[in-house]
Structure 1
Amino acid sequence: MGQYPLAFAQDRQGRGQVAAGNAAAGEERVSWRSWYALGLLFVVYVFNFIDRSILGMLNQPIKEDLGLTDTQMGFLGGVAFAIFYTFIGIPVARLADVSVRRNVVAISLAVWSGMTVLCGFAGNFWHLLFARIGVAIGEAGGSPPSHSMISDLFPERRRATALAIYALGIPAGGMFGSLLGGWLNEAFDWRTAFILVGAPGLVLAIFVRLTLREPIRGAMDTVPRQVAPAPPVREVIAHLWSRRSFRLLVLGASLQSFVGYGVGYWIPAFLMRAHDMGSGSIGVWLFWLGVPGMLGTFLGGWLGDRLSARDVRWYVWLPGIANLVALPFSVFFYIWPDVVMALSVSAFAGFLGGYYLGPTFALTQAMATPQMRAMAASLLLFSINLIGMGLGPQVTGLLSDVFATPGDAGAGGLRLALISVTLVNGLAAFAFLGAGRWLQSDLASVRSGA
């Protein structure tokens, strides 16, 4: 076993080993294999969000081609996807906690990529609904095992940074989903866009299976852990939900996700309706606007790790403050008549919008034992995606239909809907800030085994 770094010591089947924490190794030694694994999981997450977000980029041409309403399009990108994504995610996370997490990621990637290809063959609403449900089922197995593996590859004091790097897949996937979706739609059509975007994921799935090693569970923990089986789901829920800071953390992340998914899904349609932009131009703009989003996502984790060395509450103070500062810039985007100025100002809001991801993911892992980390990530994502992905696009679409007036081509109604949804970020900020009241005592109880 000496030929492998500690984090990759494992049995040949890779099943559920848990190591006693090694403080020295955990704090000082991060091998190149750990960085390789993180990089590969990041690429998988980019593919995850390309396939998830491309529907929003193709929203308007699909609506026109298939004769759908905003409510139906919101359902396809929201409730229909989120219900299967969230509920399938729990048993898949349980499987990841007792089996080889690498295999779960590879199989999931193959499933969602194949179903993305099938979206290109949809002839009506029901065909597209079936294919999107398949994408949701596949993507449910991506993040929980990835979070668990990353937590076993990086020490606790560097975990928020590592998970923030992984979370860069969200803005990066949105960037490339917008760019590729917009360009392929203009060059060919929306069906070809789905096919060409989904197919490479099938090749990547094979590469993941062949090159990614399964890390040993708990290898980077500074507190010794005893070898133990994964606890029942109800025990994991009770363990996490008994911490008031975790409840507020989940609430804040879910509300911010509600805004992010609702706004992100409908922005391309808004730019087409309100500013008469083409899908290719929108794709280029959204690609470049994703750069500050990536920078903010990384800095949220990096700053969280460094400021928390003084006071761990910075993990929740940072996203709370960022949300409050970003809010007026977000609203400005919808009301300013000059599209170039509006998009330019929105870059600052996008920069601050990703600050919550690294700290939220890291705190969730810190509040869980090694045997329950995939399940803990799944429970966090369950709430984030059921509220965010499930309700964000759907509520925005419903409000757009409600606020619509004759003669505005849907632009006025969608503008009011987007402003209404964006204001929810103020509530998210107060949830994050409120979590700081109990965070120190909750983390202390976890470390003491209480």
Structure 2
Amino acid sequence: MTAESARQQRRLLFLLTSILAVNQLDRHIVNICLAAIGAEFSLSDTELGLLAGPAFMVAYVIFGFPIARLAVSFDRRNIIGVSMIAWSTLTLMIGMAQSFAQLVLLRIGVGIGESGAVATSHAMISDLYPPERRASAISTFMTGANIGLLLAFVLGGLITQTLGWRYAFVFAGLPGLVLAAILLTTTKDPERRSLPGESDDRRALIRRTLARIAPDPGLRNLTLAIGVNGIVTFAMLTWTATFLIREHGATPLAAGVILAFVAGVVGGLGTFFSGRLADHLARRDPRHRMTLLVVATFAAKPFAIAFLLTDWLPLGVLALSISVLFSSAYWGPTLAHLHGGVDAVMRPMATTMVLFCYNVLGIAVGPVIVGAISDLAGGTQTGAGLRYGLVTVQIAGLLSAWFYWNVRRSMAAPTE
């Protein structure tokens, strides 16, 4: 590879990573604005949950598969660029919405647009880099998700507090239009490395992977555990800022900074160190990976509930941080067990299926359950509705420990 080709390779990877950051910014900016949106349109928490979750995710899932099929035959750069123009424009237009119906329709549109970016970017990166460098490239790309989440909470909170929630959506939509123009005018779709007939092989691989996971009690329980974790994670991610604003009188900026620190910094540390601890424990007995997740799940819940029940914000932030440190432990051990339970050729597809379960259950179910419980408990009238909803979800999240224990029971003891 020439020096110029290497520069173009790095430049495209940086651009795709930036696009992912904007993708996540536009997806999660709504979370920091829920309190202000609900107040302006007199919405119930159930309606806010629908806006944050299913309005986006159902469209994202339904349109993700046909757009992925288009990416097999058409220019992937154009698919990402057009998708980005669409979702960025619709994000900007959310700031101009005049009714709940308009908010939902625009949010559905954002979901449709965003469904054309992430999977297509993964495919481009896989063709851009050889197999021996692909994992590092994809890891670099995925840092865009963390950057986007931090931007959504910090910048979203700052703009909502100083200019109002409508401007938060306007400013969130603008960067995507600029990046789309750069992508479409300065880059080209990498040459495809896939072989003729690979699409047929991929369809067969989907069937084979499903046939491997579904009947296996360990992998089946692992998938259920990650689905429960998704519900808890996205319920907290969606509603914590609104909870801080309602229950503790926090400003949108303060709530955003707290969430950025807890979800971004503390969550990242938990994920990083838990993977290394799980590998260390697994040298003695691979079942200890699941033991770690059972213990971490039980350890996280008292601190999460303490955060939701305390009236002193500094103590609540400390408790939430400790809870997230434990509750973010599941990714490394979960994926390690999954990859060890399927053939090497199935690992990417198995990972995709597990992530699909995590995202669909998490975003489509978690925010709505909390919103509905909050309304039953009085909603915004009592100010305690979200507390009841989030505590309920946290307690129900103990199901994941049971599923992880079932995974452990399905594993054979190590031989001496």
TM-score (norm. length: structure 2): 0.81
Aligned to 2:225: 252
Aligned to 2:200: 231
Identity, % of aligned positions:
32
Aligned to 2:319: 345
CA apart distance, 1:438: 6.7
Residues 71-113 of structure 1: per-residue CA shift (max 9 Å, x gap):
1111111222221111212222333455555544443333222
Query: Match of 2:90, as an amino acid?
Result: M
Aligned to 1:426: 398
Helix, strand or coil: the match of 2:254?
helix
Rounded to whole Å, the distance in 2 between the matches of 1:215 and 1:267 is: 44
Corresponding residue to 2:236 among 263, 267, 273: 263
Residues 339-394 of structure 1: per-residue CA shift (max 9 Å, x gap):
11111221232234444446666877895887995x76654444223211011111
Q: What is the root-mean-square deviation in Å for CA atoms of aligned residues?
A: 3.9
Aligned to 1:325: 299
Rounded to whole Å, the distance in 2 between the matches of 1:124 and 1:86 is: 25
Corresponding residue to 2:47 among 69, 72, 75: 72
Rounded to whole Å, the distance in 1 between the matches of 2:286 and 2:119 is: 24
Aligned to 2:250: 277
Query: Match of 1:274, as an amino acid?
Result: E
Equivalences, count: 404
2:175 aligned with 1:190 = no
Query: Is the contact made by 1:308 and 1:315 (CA closer than 8 Å) also made in structure 2?
Result: yes
Rounded to whole Å, the distance in 1 between the matches of 2:279 and 2:13 is: 17
CA apart distance, 1:117: 0.6
Rounded to whole Å, the distance in 1 between the matches of 2:332 and 2:392 is: 26
Is 183-192 or 144-153 further displaced after alignment?
Answer: 144-153
Task: Name the CA shift for 1:273/1:59 in 2 (closer, same or farther; >3 Å).
Answer: same
Aligned to 2:25: 50
Aligned to 1:134: 109
Corresponding residue to 1:121 among 79, 96, 108: 96
Is 194-203 or 361-370 further displaced after alignment?
Answer: 361-370
Residues 247-306 of structure 1: per-residue CA shift (max 9 Å, x gap):
334322221111111111111111122111121221222222222223334455677788
Task: Name the CA shift for 1:365/1:158 in 2 (closer, same or farther; >3 Å).
Answer: farther
Task: Name the CA shift for 1:47/1:125 in 2 (closer, same or farther; >3 Å).
Answer: same
Helix, strand or coil: the match of 2:233?
helix
Query: Is the contact made by 2:209 and 2:346 (CA closer than 8 Å) also made in structure 1?
Result: no
Rounded to whole Å, the distance in 1 between the matches of 2:318 and 2:245 is: 17
Corresponding residue to 2:190 among 203, 214, 217: 214
CA apart distance, 1:122: 0.4
CA apart distance, 1:232: 7.6
Query: Is the contact made by 1:171 and 1:293 (CA closer than 8 Å) also made in structure 2?
Result: no
Aligned to 1:294: 268
Residues 104-134 of structure 1: per-residue CA shift (max 9 Å, x gap):
4443333222211111110000111111001
Task: Name the CA shift for 1:204/1:125 in 2 (closer, same or farther; >3 Å).
Answer: same
Rounded to whole Å, the distance in 1 between the matches of 2:111 and 2:157 is: 22
For structure 2, the 5+ residue unaligned runs are none
Residues 309-367 of structure 1: per-residue CA shift (max 9 Å, x gap):
99877776665554343222222211122111111221232234444446666877895
Rounded to whole Å, the distance in 2 between the matches of 1:371 and 1:206 is: 36
Query: Is the contact made by 2:76 and 2:189 (CA closer than 8 Å) also made in structure 1?
Result: no
Query: Is the contact made by 2:52 and 2:238 (CA closer than 8 Å) also made in structure 1?
Result: yes
Rounded to whole Å, the distance in 1 between the matches of 2:202 and 2:72 is: 11
Rounded to whole Å, the distance in 1 between the matches of 2:347 and 2:265 is: 34
Query: Match of 1:50, as an amino acid?
Result: L
CA apart distance, 1:148: 4.5
Rounded to whole Å, the distance in 1 between the matches of 2:276 and 2:131 is: 14
Aligned to 1:172: 147
CA apart distance, 1:190: 0.9
More helix by share: 2
Query: Is the contact made by 2:89 and 2:177 (CA closer than 8 Å) also made in structure 1?
Result: yes
Is 253-262 or 377-386 further displaced after alignment?
Answer: 377-386
Task: Name the CA shift for 1:165/1:232 in 2 (closer, same or farther; >3 Å).
Answer: same
For structure 1, the 5+ residue unaligned runs are 9-30, 219-225, 441-450
Query: Is the contact made by 1:333 and 1:343 (CA closer than 8 Å) also made in structure 2?
Result: yes
Rounded to whole Å, the distance in 2 between the matches of 1:217 and 1:430 is: 43
